[in-house]
Chains A and B, each alone.
Chain A
Amino acid sequence: MSSVNRTIVSPLQLSSRWGRRIYWATVVFMVVLFTAVFVFPLYWMVTGALKSGEEFAKVPPTYFPSSFNFQSYKDAWNLMNLDRYLVNTIYYAGGAWAFSLGFDVAAAYALSKLRPVFGNVVLFMMLSTLMIPPLVILLPAYLTIKDVPIVHLDLQNSPWALWLPAVANGFSIFLLKRFFDSIPTDLLEAAQLDGASAFRILWSIILPISRPILGVVSIFTVVAVWKDYAWPLITLSDPDKMTISVGLVHSSANMPQTTLTAGLVIASVPTILVFFLFQRHIMAGLTAGSLKG
């Protein structure tokens, strides 16, 4: 038993009198430190926006609002167009999710199980995009949106400007292909002998057993759309089309700091909520992507 949980510090050292003292001191220290560094700023944000204008500017500040004042939250919601931005972002994230899952699952399936000629070259090219971060090719990628090659469409201020680039994600391809590789081929060959088409095999055999990885990829895709700033800033510049991150900055210009702070709280609620709900998946996905292999 002891060797199962064994880490750097030995259980013997831990169970000694001083070991226990140091251990508990470390636990308390870490809890206090982490709360101060990671939770307190959020507390300051939420309560700051509850303060009245005068209390907000007071020096030294009050640590707890003397009375709850929801006016800033109301102002942020009404004056900063947050409802519009939130609806936009949900729409963009939903579309990005559907397209990237549809196309990337199909592609990873083809690369893992159908194995066409030059499949490995395609895989290499897709994975090597991970070495070139999207910001480095921001300008030429924007030019693609402005005037899509061959078909000459202008996708600026259209949801396609976020939906299609979301598909070109080497990390999703990597995670999905890796998972599909672990599905035994004999299972699929049996279905093939029964005359199942490639699509049918993907739909009825692969997808049902791939739920965990599909969950991970879904969350990452949606959160990425929610968090992105530079790309929606240049491709969706019409104030009616902005995402929450871009819109927040856009409409913060002439706002009092209390209202802006309330806006920050409102903008962070959705992702924090996602984190509360899918904490396990997110953490599992984080380590799955980086550790295996």
Chain B
Amino acid sequence: MTVLQKNDFRPVPEVVERKPRKGGRKVRDNLTAYGFLSGALICFALFSWYPMIREIILSFQENNFVDPPVWVGTQNYTDVFQDSAFAPAWKNTAMFTLLALLCGYIIPFVIALVLNELRHARGYLRFVVYLPVMLPPAVSVLLFKWFYDPGPGLFNQILDLFHLPTLAWLDSTDTALISLVIVSTWMNLGSGTLIYLAALQSVPPELYEAAELDGAGIFRRIWHVTIPQTRLILLVMLLIQIIATMQVFIEPMLLTGGGPEDATVSVVYLMYQYAFNFGNYGGGSALGVMLMLVLLVFSAAYLRISREEK
């Protein structure tokens, strides 16, 4: 996923220098190549490139797809901005991203660090941590919805077992968002863990030996050897995580419907509601454009960092 690294766009030097060809041949070669590309080009155009542009256009229009669209300037943006759910949606998305990062970014790295030290049961642990990633998210979310049930739900039963006070989970504004973070972390933790594990295996053992000879303890070895050596992958994963968690949708959609009292409404969920519940594509697109801009900032920051790296 280090997709936007500079190297990828540099042409691979060809082993054999091509002989200069006649113009006709060159045109034919290009036509063949674009023939091969055509299927993918059409699909990318229809489902990625055109929608990106169209979202920007739609956000400045009032459009019911029956009458000709009307340009309304920034009206959609001001309308969305004044929506009482707008501020909570951004606040919740930011909060969700932050909490999901705290859990879903740091925990997998710690787990990977420990797993990498183990010589036993590693296959089992690796298999098990990835198991939830393979479940359809709808299944995981519905499963946790049942666990969160304040009555016979598993979580309150466990709390009860240890004589701890039970929680209202999804029904309380205090715990609803964190409940979503728990599901999300549970079902996504595995991929990060396995990616870090692979990265850790590429750290040269000599470095640890050298650090040990210099008298560095375990934590200093992690800080001065492991983290710098896996810096790039840590950075890439941070960006991927932010992009993935900022579009939180299925959790509020299936668990809470954005409630209680907008405590779990997210930007993408609000966008979905605008379009498919209120038929307001202009407002929905305005939200989409805002989210695109935020993600663009992160992408730009990432590009900048990975360029400095080289």
Selected contact of B212 from candidates A10, A102, A249, A282, CB within 8 Å: A10
Name the residue among B130, B142, B276 with the largest chain A CB count within 10 angstroms: B142
| Interface check B20, CB cutoff 8 A | no
- Smallest beta-carbon distance A145→chain B, Å: 9
- B195 pairs with A59, CB closer than 8 A: no
- Smallest beta-carbon distance A37→chain B, Å: 7
- B137 pairs with A229, CB closer than 8 A: yes
Selected contact of A271 from candidates B29, B135, B143, B295, CB within 8 Å: B135
- Separation of A17 and B39 alpha carbons in the complex (Å): 63
Interfacial residues of chain B within 82-141, with CB under 8 A of chain A in the complex: 113-121, 124-132, 134-139
**Main SS class of interface, B:** helix
Selected contact of B209 from candidates A3, A39, A48, A267, CB within 8 Å: A3
- A103 pairs with B157, CB closer than 8 A: no
- Smallest beta-carbon distance B77→chain A, Å: 15
Interface string of B146-186 (1 = CB under 8 A from A): 11000110100100110000000000000000000000001
Selected contact of B8 from candidates A127, A135, A275, CB within 8 Å: A127
Interface size on A, residues (CB 8 A): 118
Interface string of A106-120 (1 = CB under 8 A from B): 110111101111011
Interface residues on B, range: 35 or more
- Smallest beta-carbon distance B93→chain A, Å: 12
In the complex with contacts A39-B128, A165-B43, A293-B8, A137-B51 CB distance below 8 A: yes
Could you write out 19 A-B pairs with CB less than 8 Å apart?
Answer: A3-B205, A30-B125, A41-B186, A42-B131, A48-B146, A110-B36, A119-B33, A123-B8, A125-B49, A133-B247, A135-B247, A144-B50, A147-B65, A165-B47, A170-B48, A198-B33, A248-B139, A282-B134, A293-B8
* Residue ranges of B at the interface with A (Cβ–Cβ < 8 Å): 1-5, 7-9, 11-12, 14-16, 29-30, 32-34, 36-37, 39-41, 43-44, 46-52, 54-55, 58, 65, 113-121, 124-132, 134-139, 142-144, 146-147, 151-152, 154, 157, 160-161, 186, 191, 194-195, 198-200, 202, 205-206, 208-209, 212, 218, 221-222, 225-226, 233, 236-237, 243-244, 247, 249-250, 253-254, 268, 271-272, 275-276, 281, 284-285, 288, 291-292, 295-296, 299
